Structure 1
Amino acid sequence: MMKMMVCGLSTKLLNICIASFCKVRLLEKAEAIVIDGIRLGVIPDVVTYNTLVSAYSRFVSLDAAYSVIHRMKEAGISPNVITYNSLMSGATWNCLLSRSLDLFEEMLLAGIHPNLWSYNILMHCFFKLGKPDEANRVFQDILLSNLTPHPSTLNIMINGLCINGYIDNALMLYRNLRRHGFVPQLVTYNILINGLCKARKLRQARRILKELGESGHEPNLITYTTVMKYCFRSNKYDKGLEIMSVMMGKGYTFDGYAYCTVVAALVKTGRIEEANACMEQTIRNGIELDLVSYNTLLNMYCREGKFEAAYKLLDEMENGGLLCDKYTHTIIIDGLCKAGNISGAQKHLHYMKMMGFHENLVALNCMIDGLCKAGQIDRAMELYKSMETKDSFTYTSLVHNLCKAGRFRLASKLMMKCLRHGKKIPKATQRAVFDGLYSSGFTDEARKLWWKIRVARILH
């Protein structure tokens, strides 16, 4: 009896050690403990192998995780529902829907009954890949299997519907569940508020926010940040800053992302001094700036025309080992173009290519717009012809500026090329082309263009 207790305790200790190493991604050391344990006579159990399966599926690969099953069988241990749930979770994380379905079927064929979390993982996978109908069928299977849905199940369902654009269905489900006794968690309210804000249904978002206040739950950082972001996106900057003050008054600690959201809003409204003060507060609070934070600060300097400070910040980023992205360089190019420093923008575009960013559509669009505004339309056309990829903004910028220069026939040809490729040009710009052709005496060309546009619309 004593021997059995020691053995049981040893296996438990073995599993605790393995789990600790797996959490910090030291899988080699976890494997070494398994080997040492076997040598000492401590036999691994299903928990041991499930811990390894979970770690390999999260940190290495699904194939590496699946290979652990063969080791389990060789050791005479049968995989259980937790084993397969870990594998399915790993497949979902990597958006391998077919693998997740195969694993679910394999589990059924092995005679292992799925539990609630098996269905939760499968449902989440379908939502993640934009298949809400399949996810809803899984939800119906849960109800038909006489399994009691966990709050997480309902949150996955509501969140999935919101993400896939079915916000009204999510709201309807939430109301139905409440009528049947479902008590929403704070995360449920946050999911709905976020979904409603993104769908621009502010009145309903306010109603959910009011229900949250009446529920006894206290809004948290995520709640406030979600509403604050929506206020800024809706150009309700004062309301957003008011929410920020409420958050700070309640003692919430901002993260770098929240500070960047506020700084970006202040920059857009031209409140540069307040933006600077906010960035200084970020640094004083000991928050380490990430790439998004630096890009926000860079954007602020470029808007102010402080390019010396912008380049100094760029050097600071690179010297600190932070890898700049396309957006970082595009901010500088756009700022230089808007300041009329076309040669400086071209030099930075060349530097960007040297850094390995060869085709950056947004940066090239900024250059085309800058060249046009500087009256260098022919150079803008040369740049346009050299581009491998073009979008609606590329064509719109050129067509608009060709009209301003009175080159309506070239503008009409470019506009037709844009429409043939299935891209859109604003109606105001199209109207400028037509008006220009008529006023210049090119009546027949205007009629032909009108007819070609009708045909292009039918084809697309």
Structure 2
Amino acid sequence: MVRRYFSSTNSMNICIASFCRAKELLKAEAVLVDGIKLGVVPDVVTYNTLIDAYCRFVSLDAGFSVMHRMEEARIVPNVVTYNSLIAAATRYRLLSQSIDLFDEMLCRGVSPDIWSYNTLIHCFFRNGRPNEAYNVFRNIILGETMPDVATYNIMINGLCKNGYVDNGIMMFRNLKRHGFVPGLDTYNILLDGLYKWRRWGTAKRLLLEMGQSGYVPNSITYTTVMKGCFMCRKYEDAFDIFNEMKSRGYAFDSFAYCTVIGALLKLSNVEDAYKCMNHMVKTGMELDVVAYNTLINLFCKSLNFEEAYRMLDELESQGLECDVYTHTILVDGLCKAGDIKGAERHLRKMDMMGFFSTLVAYNCFLDALCKTGWIEHALHVFNSMKEKDGFTYSSMVQGLCRVGRFRLASKLLLKCVSHGMPILAADKRAILSAYHSSGFKSEIKAFRSKLRVP
């Protein structure tokens, strides 16, 4: 049976690649085993295909295990091997492993290509290290490897995402002066960054410039502008853009629908959000994790948790991997519905899944405990949390002030300051008001001086 399908390494690789694309890794492994039995010798492409598939659909460790098998077969890993592993480490935000893999590649005499550099730059940006990302980019410019359009797009996107919008614009302008012709993707990336940082005027001028350059906006452009309008509360303009997209016959993707559904939910317009969801489902559109998250959020907002969990089951049955946001949405929905115990059970489930960070979910749960008056339970959860931010402390401070435990609240707020975290003006006012109403006016001055409040 196997002979019928392949009689050479190349045909075997095609079979393995087909099974890998279909996420049928066991069948891909069976093809490899049968091929070896028939005397078909696997090569570096064979193992690279498996490494990429295992990294994408299983884990980085699974990819490493295939690499070890590859070395045992005396096949030397090449740049494609390392690129797949570095890309997987980047997806999981494992910066140290990405750097180690890059260094290992250099030590073994494997020359990085532009995709190696691009992936490493992206990894630095994803982990909030823009300076190191820029250093890698500078090394490309000074070295023999030529940057490509993807390099520039990753740089501009990373700078904007990390708050360096002006640097992103400056790079865009410098590149144009040096003969770089930006594509529509580059304009879309820069527009997205400008809207996220509320640079409305600059975004409007860029849109005009894009039109003058002869580019016709695509669905991503429209969706980006629409999302920007929602962010600056220009809801009518946003819905006008949505209708214009439909009138021009643009094929809507799930991102466009999810943007509109998310905006309608923020406006508490659940009825229209349901209509938009039904229209999206009727089109037969293939849903991704973001789309499922939006639908789960919609059902949670309408307190329809049966449908929310059905969406979760459907997501997993489609072979998609739930992310931390999926479960955070459910925890937040359960908290707002008053099902504190249900939210806590779901938090335990998240802990067992080993997510990179569950801070947002714990913040939602802690805030719900404080608002329902379960202060002792909230303190227990607060003390058990390994990761905290300003919102964690804020929920605890407000909760303690509500029950008159303002001295402990002030200690927590001062601890937050000592850790260099930003504090909310509302938290300072809550403690000062509690001190004042309780007659401890002498302690107000000491508290102000410690906070350096004028």
Same fold (TM over 0.5): yes
Gaps of 5+ in 2: 1-5, 316-325, 350-360, 383-391
Matches within 5 A, 1:137-156: 137-156=135-154
**Equivalent pairs, count:** 407
- Given residue 44 of structure 2, which amino acid in structure 1 is its aligned partner? V
Q: Is the 8 A contact 1:412 1:449 kept in 2?
A: no
What is the CA deviation profile of residues 52-93 of structure 1, one whole-angstrom value per residue up to 9, with x for unaligned ones?
232233334444434444544554543322222223223333
Three-state SS of the structure 2 residue aligned to 1:422 is helix
Counterpart residue number, 2:306: 315
Q: Is the 8 A contact 1:69 1:79 kept in 2?
A: yes
Q: Is the 8 A contact 2:293 2:329 kept in 1?
A: no
Counterpart residue number, 1:293: 295
Gaps of 5+ in 1: 1-7, 302-309, 337-344, 372-379, 403-409
Determine the C-alpha separation between the residues in 2 that align with 1:283 and 1:58: 27
Is residue 120 of structure 1 aligned with residue 111 of structure 2? no
Three-state SS of the structure 2 residue aligned to 1:41 is coil
Is residue 416 of structure 1 aligned with residue 407 of structure 2? no
Identity %: 43
Counterpart residue number, 2:54: 56
Determine the C-alpha separation between the residues in 2 that align with 1:82 and 1:432: 57
Counterpart residue number, 1:391: 393
Query: How many angstroms does 1:126 deviate by?
Result: 1.9
Counterpart residue number, 1:212: 210
Counterpart residue number, 1:110: 108
Determine the C-alpha separation between the residues in 1 that align with 2:170 and 2:190: 11
TM-score after normalising by structure 1: 0.76
Q: Is the 8 A contact 2:331 2:343 kept in 1?
A: yes
- Given residue 136 of structure 1, which amino acid in structure 2 is its aligned partner? Y
Q: Is the 8 A contact 1:84 1:104 kept in 2?
A: yes
Determine the C-alpha separation between the residues in 2 that align with 1:257 and 1:139: 30
- Given residue 295 of structure 1, which amino acid in structure 2 is its aligned partner? N
- Given residue 316 of structure 1, which amino acid in structure 2 is its aligned partner? E
Seen in structure 2, the aligned counterparts of structure 1 residues 111 and 449 have a Cα distance that, compared at 3 Å, is same
- CA-based RMSD of the aligned residues comes to 3.5
- Given residue 395 of structure 1, which amino acid in structure 2 is its aligned partner? V
Matches within 5 A, 1:247-396: 247-269=245-267, 271=269, 274-286=272-284, 290-299=292-301, 301=302, 310=303, 313-318=304-309, 321=313, 325=327, 327-328=329-330, 330-331=332-333, 334=336, 345=338, 348-353=339-344, 361-363=363-365, 365-366=367-368, 368-369=370-371, 380=373, 383-388=374-379, 389=382, 391-396=393-398
Determine the C-alpha separation between the residues in 1 that align with 2:341 and 2:238: 39
Q: Is the 8 A contact 1:395 1:425 kept in 2?
A: no
**Greater Cα offset, 29-38 or 319-328:** 319-328
Counterpart residue number, 2:389: none
Three-state SS of the structure 2 residue aligned to 1:421 is helix
Is residue 99 of structure 1 aligned with residue 97 of structure 2? yes
Determine the C-alpha separation between the residues in 1 that align with 2:76 and 2:428: 68
TM-score after normalising by structure 2: 0.77
- Given residue 450 of structure 1, which amino acid in structure 2 is its aligned partner? K
Is residue 162 of structure 1 aligned with residue 156 of structure 2? no
- Given residue 56 of structure 1, which amino acid in structure 2 is its aligned partner? Y
What is the CA deviation profile of residues 344-381 of structure 1, one whole-angstrom value per residue up to 9, with x for unaligned ones?
x4xx3345446666995435534654x6xxxxxxxx3x
- Given residue 194 of structure 1, which amino acid in structure 2 is its aligned partner? D
Query: How many angstroms does 1:246 deviate by?
Result: 1.4
Q: Is the 8 A contact 1:53 1:65 kept in 2?
A: yes
Counterpart residue number, 1:45: 43
Query: How many angstroms does 1:449 deviate by?
Result: 1.1
Determine the C-alpha separation between the residues in 2 that align with 1:353 and 1:441: 35
Determine the C-alpha separation between the residues in 2 that align with 1:432 and 1:63: 49
Is residue 453 of structure 1 aligned with residue 448 of structure 2? yes
Determine the C-alpha separation between the residues in 2 that align with 1:116 and 1:186: 21
2:31 aligned to 33, 43, 46, which one?
33
